[in-house]
């Protein structure tokens, strides 16, 4: 698969087939992704690959925390406190596109809640990836991590797999630490669903738009 094709066809998948993913395939994807650049080659990524009974137990605990309104304690600010245009407009359009596709109406709060809760099960993908980083690292390592995550997603696509990067999986870090045995010295950044896509699922039928280059790039000759 050409890089251009991978970039164009990658999408965030929210429904997966129950087919398991071989450990060797996951290891190969992570090996490829580990070639991503990082400042002075620090390679700040630490990955938990969660599947089977471990995933069922962990996702049950996280979803229960969400449904019982336990406080979210994400360890860094992903979104701004005060939204402004054009970002708030794009965010609203993104949510409206998904709910419209699924025919979930604004007043149907229970269906909205259930759809959001699927985040905490990694959309029922067979594999949940969780990404940790030593707390001693600073802002530059977040940039490094972004390149690593994109590398995972593109490498997975070449293997016939699909992904969905998920900040929501970083909202209950203490539960994740307790279940998986990670130290308080490590930040839980986010997670990612990984598996074979169910392309017959309605939720996977839409694509979010992208801005044209002219709207975000300036050329200086």
Identify the CATH number of the domain in which residue 151 sits: 3.40.109.10
Is 7 contained in some domain?
Answer: yes
- Residue 220 placed within a domain: no
Structural domain including 39 reads: 3-77+120-208
- Residue 1's pLDDT is 87
The H or E element that residue 187 is part of is: strand 186-195
- Asked if residue 93 belongs to a domain, the reply is no
Assess if residue 22 is contained within a domain. Answer: yes
Dihedral angle computed from the Cα positions of residues 110, 68, 117 and 168, in that order, rounded to the nearest 10 degrees? 140
Domain count, the chain: 1
Asked if 192 and 125 count as a contact pair (C-beta separation under 8 A), the reply is no
CA-to-CA distance for 91 and 96, rounded, in angstroms? 9
pLDDT per residue as tens, the chain (221 positions):
899 999 999 999 999 999 999 999 999 999 999 999 999 999 999 999 999 999 999 999 999 999 999 999 999 999 999 999 999 999 999 999 999 999 999 899 999 999 999 999 999 999 999 999 999 999 999 999 999 999 999 999 999 999 999 999 999 999 999 999 999 999 999 999 999 999 999 999 999 999 999 999 999 99
Instruction: Tell whether 136 is covered by a domain.
Output: yes
Cβ(71)–Cβ(166) below 8 Å: no
- Is residue 109 assigned to a domain? no
Q: What is the predicted pLDDT for the residue at 184?
A: 96
In a domain, 215, yes or no: no
Asked whether residue 199 is assigned to any structural domain, the reply reads yes
Closest CA to 145 of 37, 48, 50, 49: 37
pTM of this prediction exceeds 0.85: yes
The answer to whether 121 and 98 have CB atoms below 8 angstroms apart is: no
């Amino acid at each position: 698969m050409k890089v251009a094709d991978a970039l164009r066809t990658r999408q965030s998948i929210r429904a997966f087939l129950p087919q398991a993913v071989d450990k060797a395939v996951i290891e190969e994807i992570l090996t490829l992704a580990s070639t991503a650049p990082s400042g002075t080659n620090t390679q700040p990524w630490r990955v938990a690959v969660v599947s089977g009974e471990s995933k069922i137990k962990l996702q049950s605990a996280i979803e229960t925390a969400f449904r019982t309104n336990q406080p979210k304690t994400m360890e860094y600010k992903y979104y701004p406190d005060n939204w402004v245009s054009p970002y708030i407009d794009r965010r609203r359009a993104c949510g409206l596109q998904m709910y419209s596709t699924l025919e979930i109406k604004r007043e149907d709060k229970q269906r909205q809640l259930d759809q959001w809760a699927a985040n905490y099960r990694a959309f029922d993908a067979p594999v949940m990836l969780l990404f940790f980083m030593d707390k001693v690292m600073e802002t530059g390592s977040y940039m490094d991590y972004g390149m690593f995550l994109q590398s995972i997603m593109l490498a997975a696509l070449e293997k016939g797999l699909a992904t969905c990067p998920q900040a929501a999986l970083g909202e209950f870090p203490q539960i994740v630490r307790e279940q998986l045995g990670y130290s308080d010295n490590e930040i839980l950044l986010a997670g990612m669903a990984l598996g074979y896509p169910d392309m017959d699922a309605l939720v996977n039928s839409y694509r979010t738009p992208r801005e044209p280059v002219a709207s975000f790039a300036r050329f200086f000759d």
